[in-house]
């Protein structure tokens, strides 16, 4: 998780343009066109607009939420989410959950909302969405120091980065190593429980549907199907638009195989616990730590350390063998103890893993891949296909903002809603 805002951040303001589209290309666009020109839309007598969202990770649930939220209230809209495993079945469900929002309001979709949905649902969850607030990043080399100094000076007021010295850092986390006497403290950053967040977001989507449907305007529907999608064209006749949010498995679809500039990278995370009576507990209100290895702190005696980087792996299984876990620990523990030496007293309990979809490096940094993909799979009159992928190691950071842009582009049938930097991969690919 980066400490600095995503490179495309400044594009948000630039690309909040009004919807402009080719409103005659399909029924979907014509319906929207009528909305835009204020003609009467008698949605009760029409088949709802139907959207298929493939994948129920950060990307898919964000798009689903925004399709419901951003569509005109008088339109009937049905969103079907497909996931072969279920909510958080891919990288999102196993991620470290470290989120340094550049704008807390935009960065996660109603974190608080998702939290209260879970509490109200009466589910037996001992922890809720936000595990811990604050992230601390000690500078470990001159490059990080300069980059973070720069970020601290230029950050938005909504994402404070405080530059602190060793003593102040050690007041937050006793015995922390601060080799260059400087650390960067992000008090508004959070560490979320990714599965709880995703479950909360899905519940929030369902409640949104209930609320919108009872308002007397168009009917909204949302369904989650546990089903593996083996090719895109099988969905052709049923949907007005299909949005591929399958993370590292997007290019396993025959229509996209070998055609997306994505590399895969497996990451392992280890859970450690401090045995009773041994060593110093982690402070109750101490922040999580970002360094060469990160520590996502769960409680005073429980934390996650991550993550490894196994490039070109195709293994998306969350399960980690004994062998893989011990290799991961060999790699992670020296890095973690160089910053938090007390970690040597902690014991390994379990490991989990996920597969990242890494986008290519461009002059603007490593940017997610978004856009309409009918060039790749062939134009159809009835259904438009879209891709929201390549979230790399920053999915939590990006998903809310980009999910909203994606949904707006889908609803208006207009790819120009999306910043061109995020659709440029299509030209290179061609
Ligand atoms: C170890 C690790 C730690 C990370 N930590 C962080 C972090 O702290 N902060 C951060 O911002 N990012 C982190 N990331 C990155 C983040 O997890 C990803 O960027 C993000 O999860 C990508 O979301 P996604 O929705 O695109 O993909 P996924 O979460 O992988 O979702 C894709 C979904 O598609 C489903 N699917 C796949 N194939 C099919 C099919 N054929 N049919 C139907 N469904 C299918 C899958 O089951 C899955 O649920 C981490 C990643 C890893 C691996």
Domain ranges of the chain: 7-92+195-262+361-429, 132-190+263-356
Task: Tell me how far the alpha carbon of residue 57 lies from the centroid of ligand 1, in angstroms.
Answer: 6
Task: Tell me how far the alpha carbon of residue 162 lies from the centroid of ligand 1, in angstroms.
Answer: 30
For residue 47, pLDDT over 90 is answered with no
**Per-residue CA distances from 58 to 15, 197, 214, 317, 343 (Å):** 22, 9, 27, 17, 30
Ligand 1 close to Cβ of residue 255 (< 6 A): no
Average pLDDT over every residue of 228-245? 92
Please tell me the residue having the least CA distance from ligand 1 atom 51. Answer: 95
For residue 32, pLDDT over 60 is answered with no
Ligand 1 close to Cβ of residue 264 (< 6 A): no
User: pLDDT tier at 111 (50, 70, 90 boundaries)?
Assistant: low
For residue 311, pLDDT over 90 is answered with yes
For residue 403, pLDDT over 60 is answered with yes
Ligand 1 close to Cβ of residue 375 (< 6 A): no
Mean pLDDT of the chain: 85
For residue 110, pLDDT over 80 is answered with no
Mutating to test ligand 1, I would choose from 90, 295, 351, 406 the residue with most ligand atoms within 8 A of its C-beta, which is: 90
For residue 430, pLDDT over 70 is answered with no
Contacts of 368 (CB under 8 A, 6+ apart): 359, 388, 389, 390, 391, 392, 398, 402, 422
Ligand 1 close to Cβ of residue 59 (< 6 A): yes
For residue 64, pLDDT over 90 is answered with yes
For residue 273, pLDDT over 90 is answered with yes
User: pLDDT tier at 119 (50, 70, 90 boundaries)?
Assistant: low
Ligand 1 close to Cβ of residue 155 (< 6 A): no
Average pLDDT over every residue of 244-251? 97
pTM as predicted: 0.89
> On the CB side of 199, how many CA atoms lie within 13 Å of its CA?
21
Instruction: Give the per-residue pLDDT at 112.
Output: 57
Residue in the structure block whose two tokens are 């990288």? 91
| Strand pairing class (263-273; 310-311) | antiparallel
Ligand 1 close to Cβ of residue 100 (< 6 A): no
**Per-residue CA distances from 244 to 13, 99, 380, 387 (Å):** 25, 24, 16, 5
Average pLDDT over every residue of 265-292? 93
Give the residue ranges of DSSP H helices in 254-363: 322-337
Instruction: Give the per-residue pLDDT at 301.
Output: 95
Backbone angles phi and psi of 230, in degrees to 5: -100, -20
- Counting from 1 in the atom list of ligand 1, the atom nearest the Cα of 354 is 53
∠ CA 99-103-106 to the nearest 5 degrees?
90
Instruction: Give the per-residue pLDDT at 244.
Output: 98
Task: Tell me how far the alpha carbon of residue 375 lies from the centroid of ligand 1, in angstroms.
Answer: 25
Task: Tell me how far the alpha carbon of residue 272 lies from the centroid of ligand 1, in angstroms.
Answer: 23
* % the chain with pLDDT above 90: 63
The DSSP annotation for 215-264 comes to: TTSS-EEEEEEE-----SGGGTTT-SEEEE--GGGGGGSTTTTTTS--EE
Ligand 1 close to Cβ of residue 317 (< 6 A): no
User: What is the per-residue pLDDT across 140-168, written as a single tens digit (0 to 9) for each?
Assistant: 999 888 988 888 887 766 678 899 999 99
**Which CATH number is 132-190+263-356's, of 3.60.15.10, 3.40.190.10, 3.30.9.10, 2.60.40.1760?**
3.30.9.10
Ligand 1 close to Cβ of residue 290 (< 6 A): no
Instruction: Give the per-residue pLDDT at 12.
Output: 32
Task: Tell me how far the alpha carbon of residue 90 lies from the centroid of ligand 1, in angstroms.
Answer: 4
Average pLDDT over every residue of 280-298? 94
Task: Tell me how far the alpha carbon of residue 247 lies from the centroid of ligand 1, in angstroms.
Answer: 5
Instruction: Give the per-residue pLDDT at 109.
Output: 57
Residue in the structure block whose two tokens are 């500078």? 139
For residue 69, pLDDT over 60 is answered with yes
CATH code of the region 7-92+195-262+361-429: 3.40.50.720
Q: Which of 182-196, 244-258, 333-347 has the lowest mean pLDDT?
A: 182-196
User: pLDDT tier at 39 (50, 70, 90 boundaries)?
Assistant: very low
Instruction: Give the per-residue pLDDT at 280.
Output: 87
Ligand 1 close to Cβ of residue 224 (< 6 A): no
For residue 427, pLDDT over 90 is answered with no
- Reported residue count of the chain is 430
User: pLDDT tier at 319 (50, 70, 90 boundaries)?
Assistant: very high
Nearest in space to 339 (alpha carbons), one of 186, 190, 183: 183
Ligand 1 close to Cβ of residue 295 (< 6 A): no
Instruction: Give the per-residue pLDDT at 63.
Output: 97
The DSSP annotation for 5-40 comes to: --GGGGHHHHT-PPP---TTSSHHHHHHHHHHTT--
Instruction: Give the per-residue pLDDT at 3.
Output: 35
Task: Tell me how far the alpha carbon of residue 390 lies from the centroid of ligand 1, in angstroms.
Answer: 10
Average pLDDT over every residue of 337-346? 96
For residue 399, pLDDT over 70 is answered with yes
Q: Which of 154-158, 241-245, 297-301 has the lowest mean pLDDT?
A: 154-158
Fold: same for 7-92+195-262+361-429 and 132-190+263-356: no
Task: Tell me how far the alpha carbon of residue 321 lies from the centroid of ligand 1, in angstroms.
Answer: 20
Average pLDDT over every residue of 248-274? 96
Instruction: Give the per-residue pLDDT at 131.
Output: 84
């Amino acid at each position: 998780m980066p400490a600095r805002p995503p490179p495309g951040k400044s594009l948000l303001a630039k690309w909040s343009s009004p919807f402009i589209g080719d409103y005659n290309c399909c029924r979907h666009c014509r319906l929207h066109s009528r909305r835009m020109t204020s003609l009467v839309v008698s949605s009760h007598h029409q088949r709802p607009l139907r959207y298929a969202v493939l994948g129920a990770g950060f990307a898919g649930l964000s798009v689903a939420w925004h399709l419901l939220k951003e569509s005109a209230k008088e339109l009937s809209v049905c969103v079907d989410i497909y996931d072969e495993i279920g909510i958080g079945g891919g990288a999102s469900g196993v991620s470290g959950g470290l989120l340094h929002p550049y704008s807390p309001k935009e960065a996660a979709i109603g974190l608080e909302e998702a939290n209260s949905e879970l509490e109200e649902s009466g589910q037996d969850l001992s922890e809720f969405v936000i595990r811990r607030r604050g992230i601390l990043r000690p500078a470990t080399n001159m490059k990080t120091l300069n980059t973070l100094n720069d970020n601290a000076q230029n950050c938005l007021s909504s994402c404070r980065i405080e530059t602190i010295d060793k003593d102040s850092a050690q007041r937050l986390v006793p015995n922390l190593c601060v080799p260059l006497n400087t650390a960067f403290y992000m008090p508004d950053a959070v560490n979320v429980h990714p599965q709880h967040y995703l479950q909360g977001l899905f519940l929030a989507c369902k409640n949104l549907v209930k609320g919108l449907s009872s308002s007397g305007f168009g009917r909204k529907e949302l369904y989650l199907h546990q089903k593996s999608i083996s090719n895109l064209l099988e969905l052709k006749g049923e949907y007005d638009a299909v949005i591929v949010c399958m993370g590292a498995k997007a290019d396993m679809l025959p229509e996209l195989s070998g055609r997306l500039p994505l590399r895969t990278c497996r990451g392992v995370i280890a859970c450690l616990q401090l045995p009773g009576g041994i060593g110093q507990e982690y402070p109750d209100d101490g922040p999580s730590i970002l360094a060469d290895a990160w520590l996502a702190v769960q409680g005073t005696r429980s934390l996650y350390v991550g993550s490894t980087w196994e490039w070109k792996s195709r293994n998306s299984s969350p399960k980690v063998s004994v062998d893989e876990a011990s290799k991961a620990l060999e790699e992670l523990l020296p890095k973690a103890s160089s910053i938090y030496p007390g970690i040597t007293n902690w014991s390994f309990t379990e490991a989990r893993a996920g597969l990242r979809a890494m986008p290519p490096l461009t002059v603007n940094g490593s940017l997610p891949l978004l856009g309409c993909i009918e060039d790749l799979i062939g134009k159809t009159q009835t259904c438009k296909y879209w891709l929201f992928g390549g979230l790399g190691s920053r999915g939590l950071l990006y998903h809310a903002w980009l999910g909203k842009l994606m949904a707006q582009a889908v609803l208006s049938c207009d790819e120009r809603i999306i910043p061109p930097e995020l659709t440029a991969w299509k030209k290179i690919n061609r």
